[in-house]
Chains A and B, each alone.
Chain A
Amino acid sequence: MKLGLNPQQVLSEALGPSGAMRVTVGIDLGSTTTKSILLDPGGEIVGRGITNSRSNYAVAAAVARQEALTAVRFSMLGRVLDAAGADAVALQQPLSEAFRLQLYLGELDALRDEIAGLLLKPGFAANRAVLAPAADEVLRRMRLSAPALFGPGADRKSDFFRDIAGQAFVKEAEDLASGGQVPFERLVGLYDRAILDVETRIETRDFAELLGIAARQLLPAGPSADWLAAVVAAVGRAPIEEVAFVGTGYGRQTLPFPKETVRSEILCHGRGAHRVFSGTRTVLDIGGQDTKAIQVDSSGVVTSFQMNDRCAAGCGRYLGYIADELNLGLHELGPLALQAKKQTRVNSTCTVFAGAELRERLALGQRREDILAGLHRAIMLRAMSILARSGGIADQFTFTGGVCNNPMAVKVLRELVAQTYGDHITVNTHSSSIYMGALGAAMYALDDHREGRGGILPTFAVAQAA
C-alpha cells in the first residue's frame, strides 16, 4: 500500500478541471424492479443500482439512484486503491461487503422502530406482552447473523432488503416459535406490515460515515487504517454533480418525473440494447407487464415497434402466476422446465386460464416439467408473433427484460428464431439486460446534456410521505 499516496490528488486527476464527477442519470421504473444507470461525460457507465419497485414509485426511483450513486463512489474508491497497489486493491471487495452490512444494519434499525411503533397500536394490545419481546429477540438474532450474509463467499439470493431480511426474519421466527410460546403467524405478520413502511422511507445515508465504519472494522488501528480513513473521507466528499436526467418505465404517466425528462421505454430499451450489443437490429424485451418488439437502426434509434395490447398474456407476470400456482420461486421455473422429457402442448397464454389449464393437466398426471416446458413455448410463440408484426428479426437479435434471465425462455426463443429466421441469426442475451432501459435513458440524458437542454433532476421530495 502506498501510504504516501494522496487520495485527493488521485481523485482530482480523475475528476478533471471541474473538480466534480459529472454524471447523467437514467432511471427505468419497471412494474417489478426499478433500475438506475449513471454515465460519465464520455458515456462510460460509472454506476448502476436496482431495487424492487414497491408501492411508492418515487421512493423506488430515489433508492435506485442512491444505489447507483453509491456505486459511483465505489468506482472512485477503486481508482484510488488501484493507484495504491495490489494490497490496496484487495481491500475493495471486503470494503464493499462491509459497507453493505452497515446499510443492512441501518435498515434493521428502521425495521425495529417500525415494529415497535406497530406494537403500540390497539390491535396488538392482547398479544403485545408476547410479541414485543419475541420481535426483539428475532431482531437481535438477525443482527448477530447479519455478518454471515455479507462475508466472503456469502450467498445472497437477492440484494433487496425486503428479501434478505424477510428470509432471515422467517428463519429466526420459526426457530423461536418452535418452542410453542410464540405465535409464528403473528410475528411474520408484523414483519409484513412493517416492511411496507420501511420500504417507503428514504434513508439519507452518509457514504463517508458508513464506509468509515466499514473500514475501521476491516483494518486494525495503525498507519494503514489512518490512510484508508483519509481515502474514505476524500471519496465520500468528492462532489458528484448530476447534470441531466431521463426517466422511463412502465405506465409512464404515473412516473414521478417531470414531463420533459420522460422518454419512452421503447426508445430507451432499443438504445440500451444496441449500446451493449452494437450489432443489434432487433430487440425483444419481455418485462413484467409487457412484451415489446423493437427494430433499431445502426445508431440504435428505433425504426419500428410493436407491443402486446391491453392483455398482459405471455409477459413476465404470467410466469409469476404460474410460479405461484406451483408454489415455486420465479427463478426456479426455467431450470425445472429444462428437465422436461417432452413439451406438453399448452393452449392458453391467457393468464387467467393458464392456471386452470395447469391444474387440469397436473390432475391428468402429466409431468410438471413437461407442462412448464409447454408453457414457456406458449409464451415465446406469442412473443414471436409480436416480433413478426414489428417486421421480423434481423441480425443481430437481442433479448432483454426480466424474462431473459429464464434459461428455458432463452432456449425456446433460440430454437424458434433459428426455425423461423434461420440459424445464422446471432441471439444476444446478457445477465444484466435488465438494465438496458435505464442505460438507454441515461444515454438520452447525455444527449440532452450535450445539446444544452439536460432535464431537471427530480428531488423525489414527495417520497417522504406514507
Chain B
Amino acid sequence: MSTGHMMADAPSKDAAAPVKDHSQVRQKEMIADHFDKLARAKEDGRKVVYTFVPGNLTELILSLDLLPVLPEINALQSGMRKKSAGYIAEAEKSGHSEDVCTYVKCDIGMMKSGNIGPTGQKLPEPDLLLLSYTGCFTFLKWFELLREEYHCPVVMLHVPYQPDGVITAAMRTYIVDQLEREVIPALEKLAGKTLDRNELSRRLALSAQAEDDLVAVWESAKHSPSPIDGYFGGVYYIGPIFSAFRGSEGAVDYYRELRQECEARVALNLGPMTPDGQLDDQKYRLVVEGPPNWTSFNDFWHMFSKEKAVVVASTYTRVGGLYDSGPDGKGFRHDPARPLETLADYCLGCYTNLGLPSRIDLLERYVRDYKADGFLINSVKSCNSFSAGQLLILREVERRTGVPGGFIESDLVDPRYFGKANIENRVQSFLQMLQARRGRVLQADVRGSQPSAAL
C-alpha cells in the first residue's frame, strides 16, 4: 500500500504562524534534491527504477547508484495537490473500473497527463520495474500496466504472506534465492556494474541507525502530552525512510534531528503542531488503523485537532517497515551482518504482509502501551489489503482492551469518497462517545421497560 510520504510542504502552513521544525525544512530539501536528480536522470545517464513502498529495496538500489521512483507516493502527492480527481477520471476514461485501487488510476492518469511529479518537474520513464510483491495483488496488475506503457523489463520479488506472524527459515531462503538469482542480477545489468556487498552493508547499517531514531520518535508518544501526532504528523515522519532515502546519510541526519526535536518537546511538555496550532492540551489519545484520506488531508486532520484529539500510534505509518513492534513483539532492524537475509525479513514484516491475527495483536499492544482512550479505523474503499476484515479487527480489539473503537469510511485519493459531513459526524460522535464513557456521572434514569407515559 501506500505509504510514506514525501511532502513538498508541511501541513502546518495553514496553522496559525507555526514555527517550522528544522527537520521539516531538511526533509523538504532532501525531496527537492531527489526530484532534481530524477529530472536530470536522462542527461546524467542515470538509470531509474520504479518500485513500491512496502518491501522496497532502497539500500540495494542506492548501492548500485540507481534512482528509485515510488508511484504510490506520487499518487498520494497528487491527492494532496488536488490533482487526483482529474487523473482518476483520465484513467477511468481509458477503461479502468470504478473499483480499481485509486492509487493505480491516479498514477496511470498522471502518466497519461505528462508524468509531472509532485515538484512540478517531469518524472523520467522507468528503466526497470522492481515489483516487490507484499500482500497486495494490485501491485502485480499495476506494474503489468506500466510495462505495457513503458515497454521496460519487470523483475519480481515474491514475498510470501505471513499468515501466522512467524517468519520461517524457508520463507527467508525463498526470498534470498530470488534476490541472488533474479533481482540483483537484473539490477546489476541495469547499473552496468556488480554490487559492492560492503557498500550494501554500510547502507544497511545507516538504515538501522535511522530506524533506531524513528522508533524513539514513535515511542515519544507514550509521554503525555504526546509530542507528536503519530498519524497525521506521522505520515510526514515516514517520508524519508519509506521512500528514496533509507540507507542514506541524509536519512540518518533527518531522523537524528527529528528525534531531538521530539525529545525537546517532551522535556517541555509540548504537543505537536497541528492545523489548529500546537496541541499541548490533549483531550483524547487515539490509535488509528488504516491509511488517511489524502484529498482532504488537512480537513480530515482538523476534525481531530479541533477536538483536541491526538493520535499516539497508527498502523499506516508502519506499512513501509515495522520497526517498533513486530509480530513477535520485537521491532525489526536491518542487520548489516546478514544483508540479504535482513532484506528478506524486512519485506516479510511489512504491515500489509501480515495476517489479521498479527494486526490485531499489534493494535492491542498499541492501545495498551500508548494508553489510548479509543481507537479508530479509517476504512478506505480502494485498498482491500487494508480494509478486508477491519470490522473483525474492531470488535476483537474492543473485546481485548475494553477501549471503544470507531469506524469511518473514505478513500485514498478519490475525492468522491470523502463525504465530509458524514465523516465529521462520525468522528465527532466517536469522540463524544469516548467523552461520555470516560467516567462522566450519568444520572441514572431507571424506569421500567414500559414506555414512560410522558413521551
Mark A residues whose CB is within 8 Å of B: 43-45, 48, 251-253, 263-267, 274-279, 290, 297, 299-307, 309-310, 389, 391, 396, 426, 428, 430, 432, 435, 439, 443, 446-447, 450-451
Contact = CB atoms under 8 A, between A and B. Distances in A.
A297 B421 CA distance: 27
B437 A278 contact: no
B424 interface: yes
8 contacts: A264-B425, A265-B429, A300-B442, A303-B437, A306-B407, A391-B395, A439-B455, A447-B441
Contact of B443 (A290, A396, A446): A446
A300 B445 contact: yes
Nearest to A43: B445
B174 interface: no
Given A432-B455, A447-B440, A451-B441, 5 more contacts: A275-B445, A278-B449, A302-B436, A304-B404, A446-B443
A48 B454 CA distance: 9
Contacts of B407: 306, 389
Contact of A307 (B404, B422, B428, B436): B422
Interface in B402-433: 404-405, 407, 409, 417, 419, 421-422, 424-426, 428-429, 432-433
B371 to A, nearest CB: 20
B436 to A, nearest CB: 5
B226 to A, nearest CB: 24
A278 B445 contact: yes
Contacts of A265: 425, 429
Contact of B404 (A303, A396, A432, A439): A303
B454 A44 contact: yes
Contacts of B417: 310
A277 B433 contact: no
A267 B432 contact: yes
B433 A267 contact: yes
Contacts of A450: 443
A279 B450 CA distance: 9
A185 B320 CA distance: 67
B17 interface: no
Contacts of B446: 278
A302 to B, nearest CB: 5
Nearest to B395: A391
B436 A267 contact: yes
A95 B433 CA distance: 44
A297 B404 CA distance: 12
Nearest to B398: A304
B145 interface: no
B114 interface: no
Contacts of B432: 263-264, 266-267
Contacts of B445: 43, 274-275, 278, 300, 443
B436 A301 contact: yes
B316 to A, nearest CB: 20
B409 A309 contact: yes
A274 B447 CA distance: 10
A136 B299 CA distance: 53
Task: Report the 3 A-B pairs with minimum CB-CB distance, sorted nearest first.
Answer: A310-B419, A264-B429, A45-B454
B264 interface: no
Contacts of A451: 441
Given A266-B429, A389-B391, A432-B455, A447 B421 contact: no
Given A253-B421, A430-B455, A396 B449 contact: yes
B45 interface: no
A278 B447 contact: yes
B267 interface: no
A277 B455 CA distance: 11
A310 B408 CA distance: 11
Contacts of A275: 445, 447, 452
A408 B441 CA distance: 39
Given A44-B454, A303-B437, A447 B442 contact: yes
A45 B455 contact: yes
Contacts of A301: 433, 436-437, 442
B443 A305 contact: no
A418 B419 CA distance: 34
Contacts of B437: 297, 301-303
B448 interface: yes
B210 to A, nearest CB: 39
A45 B447 CA distance: 13
A345 to B, nearest CB: 25
Nearest to B408: A309
B444 interface: yes
Contacts of B447: 275, 278
B451 interface: yes
Contacts of A266: 429, 432-433
A305 B398 CA distance: 13
Interface in B386-410: 391, 395, 398, 404-405, 407, 409
